[in-house]
Chain A
Amino acid sequence: MATVDFAVGIGGENGQGIASTGDILARIFARRGLHLNAYNAYQSIIRGGHTFLTVRASDGPVRSMGDKIDVFIPLNQDTMDRHLHLLEAGACAIYDRDKIKPGAAAAGVQLCPMPMKELAKGNPLAANTAALGATLQLLGIEAEPLEAVVSRQFKKKGDAAVAQNIAIARAGYEYAAQNFKAFPWRAPRGPKPLGVVTGNQATALGGAAAGVKFYAAYPMSPSTGVLMWMASHARQLGIMVRQVEDEIGVMNMVIGAASTGCRAMCATSGGGFALMSEAIGMGGMIEVPLVCVDVQRAGPATGVPTKTEQGDLWQVLGAGQGDYPRIIVAPANQLDLFRTIPELFNICDKYQCPGLVLSDLLISEGTASVDPAELDFNVRIERGELILADGNGAAAEPFSGYNNGAYLRFKNTESGISPRAVPGVPGHIFVAATDEHDEDGTLISDEFTNPHKRRMMVEKRARKMQGAILELAPPKLVGPESATVTLVGWGSTEGVIREAVEKLAGEEGIVASQLHIKWIVPLHAAEIARILARSRNVIVVENNYSGQFARYLRSETGIEAHGHIRKYDGEPFMPHHIVASVKAQLAGETRLSVPVHEVIA
Chain B
Amino acid sequence: MSTTTATPSTAPISTPAALSKETYKGRIHPDWCPGCGDFSVIAALQAALFELGLKPHQVLVVSGIGCSSNLPGYMNTYGMHTLHGRSLAVATGAKLGNHELKVICTGGDGDGYGIGCNHFVHSMRRNVDLTYIVMDNQIYGLTTGQVSPTSVKGMKTKSTPNGNVENPINPIPMAIVGGATYVARAFSGKQKHMIEIFKGAIQHKGFALVDVFSPCVTYNKDNTYQWFNPRVKILEEQGHDPTDFHKAIDRGYQWGDEIPIGLFWKRTELPALEDLEPVLHDGQGPLAWRKLGLSSEQAKVLVEELL
Chain A residues close to B by CB (< 8 Å): 30-31, 193, 195-197, 201, 205, 208-211, 213-214, 216, 233-240, 242, 244-246, 248-249, 252-264, 278-279, 282, 286, 370, 372, 375, 377-384, 386-392, 394, 396-399, 401-403, 422-435, 441-443, 446-447
> Is B93 a contact partner of A208 (Cβ separation < 8 A)?
no
When chains A and B are docked, how far (Å) is the Cα of A422 from the Cα of B6?
14
Using CB atoms, name the residue of chain A closest to B277: A240
**Do A252 and B306 form a contact, CB below 8 Å, given A257-B287, A398-B17?**
no
Most buried by B among A30, A401, A422: A422
When chains A and B are docked, how far (Å) is the Cα of A387 from the Cα of B302?
31
> Is A399 a contact partner of B93 (Cβ separation < 8 A)?
no
Is B270's beta carbon under 8 Å from chain A? no
Shortest CB-to-CB span from B65 to chain A, Å, is 8
Cβ 8 A contact of B76, one of A255, A429, A442: A429
Cβ 8 A contact of B6, one of A260, A390, A399: A390
> Is A388 a contact partner of B6 (Cβ separation < 8 A)?
yes
Of residues 116 to 155 in B, which have CB atoms within 8 Å of A's CB atoms?
118-119, 121-122
When chains A and B are docked, how far (Å) is the Cα of A263 from the Cα of B293?
11
> Is A259 a contact partner of B94 (Cβ separation < 8 A)?
yes
Q: List 26 A-B contacts (CB under 8 A).
A: A211-B294, A213-B97, A213-B290, A237-B298, A238-B284, A240-B96, A240-B280, A245-B122, A249-B86, A249-B119, A255-B90, A256-B91, A286-B80, A377-B298, A381-B2, A390-B11, A399-B56, A403-B76, A422-B288, A423-B57, A424-B101, A429-B77, A431-B78, A432-B80, A442-B27, A443-B73
> Is B282 a contact partner of A238 (Cβ separation < 8 A)?
yes
Is B254's beta carbon under 8 Å from chain A? no
> Is A391 a contact partner of B101 (Cβ separation < 8 A)?
no
> Is B81 a contact partner of A377 (Cβ separation < 8 A)?
no
Q: Mark B174-212, 1 if CB is under 8 A from A, else 0.
A: 000000000000000000000000000000000000000
Q: What A residues does B6 contact at CB under 8 A? A: 388, 390-392
Is B26's beta carbon under 8 Å from chain A? yes
**Do A258 and B56 form a contact, CB below 8 Å, given A237-B294, A403-B26, A429-B78?**
no
> Is A253 a contact partner of B78 (Cβ separation < 8 A)?
no
> Is B306 a contact partner of A372 (Cβ separation < 8 A)?
yes
Q: What A residues does B294 contact at CB under 8 A? A: 208-209, 211, 237, 377
Q: What B residues does A249 contact at CB under 8 A? A: 86, 89, 118-119, 122
Is B9's beta carbon under 8 Å from chain A? yes
When chains A and B are docked, how far (Å) is the Cα of A398 from the Cα of B9?
16
Of residues 45 to 66 in B, which have CB atoms within 8 Å of A's CB atoms?
55-58, 60, 62, 65
Using CB atoms, name the residue of chain B closest to A345: B292
Using CB atoms, name the residue of chain A closest to B6: A391
Q: What A residues does B299 contact at CB under 8 A? A: 209, 375, 377-378
Is B226's beta carbon under 8 Å from chain A? no
Is B278's beta carbon under 8 Å from chain A? yes
Q: What A residues does B15 contact at CB under 8 A? A: 396
Shortest CB-to-CB span from A307 to chain B, Å, is 26
> Is B288 a contact partner of A434 (Cβ separation < 8 A)?
no
> Is B93 a contact partner of A261 (Cβ separation < 8 A)?
no
Q: What B residues does A429 contact at CB under 8 A? A: 56-57, 76-78
Cβ 8 A contact of B298, one of A236, A253, A256, A388: A236
Using CB atoms, name the residue of chain B closest to A440: B27
Q: What A residues does B290 contact at CB under 8 A? A: 213, 238
Q: What B residues does A211 contact at CB under 8 A? A: 291-294
When chains A and B are docked, how far (Å) is the Cα of A401 from the Cα of B59?
14
Using CB atoms, name the residue of chain B closest to A255: B90
When chains A and B are docked, how far (Å) is the Cα of A193 from the Cα of B19?
65
Is B162's beta carbon under 8 Å from chain A? no
Q: What B residues does A387 contact at CB under 8 A? A: 5
When chains A and B are docked, how far (Å) is the Cα of A264 from the Cα of B94?
11
Cβ 8 A contact of A388, one of B8, B57, B90: B8
Shortest CB-to-CB span from B291 to chain A, Å, is 8
The 6 tightest CB contacts between A and B, nearest first, are A256-B93, A211-B292, A195-B306, A260-B97, A431-B79, A252-B89
> Is B101 a contact partner of A260 (Cβ separation < 8 A)?
yes
Cβ 8 A contact of A382, one of B2, B70, B288: B2
**Do A261 and B97 form a contact, CB below 8 Å, given A205-B302, A255-B90, A389-B289?**
yes
When chains A and B are docked, how far (Å) is the Cα of A446 from the Cα of B91?
23
When chains A and B are docked, how far (Å) is the Cα of A387 from the Cα of B6?
9
Is B238's beta carbon under 8 Å from chain A? no
Shortest CB-to-CB span from B14 to chain A, Å, is 7
> Is A432 a contact partner of B8 (Cβ separation < 8 A)?
no
Shortest CB-to-CB span from B242 to chain A, Å, is 28
Shortest CB-to-CB span from A376 to chain B, Å, is 9
Q: What B residues does A263 contact at CB under 8 A? A: 292
> Is B279 a contact partner of A256 (Cβ separation < 8 A)?
no
Q: What A residues does B4 contact at CB under 8 A? A: 382-384, 386
Q: What B residues does A234 contact at CB under 8 A? A: 279
> Is B94 a contact partner of A257 (Cβ separation < 8 A)?
yes
**Do A238 and B279 form a contact, CB below 8 Å, given A259-B93, A260-B94, A381-B292?**
yes
Q: What B residues does A435 contact at CB under 8 A? A: 81
Q: What B residues does A256 contact at CB under 8 A? A: 62, 80, 89-97
Most buried by A among B8, B16, B97: B97
> Is B82 a contact partner of A434 (Cβ separation < 8 A)?
yes
> Is B287 a contact partner of A213 (Cβ separation < 8 A)?
yes
> Is B82 a contact partner of A423 (Cβ separation < 8 A)?
no
Q: What A residues does B289 contact at CB under 8 A? A: 261, 388-389
When chains A and B are docked, how far (Å) is the Cα of A354 from the Cα of B171?
35
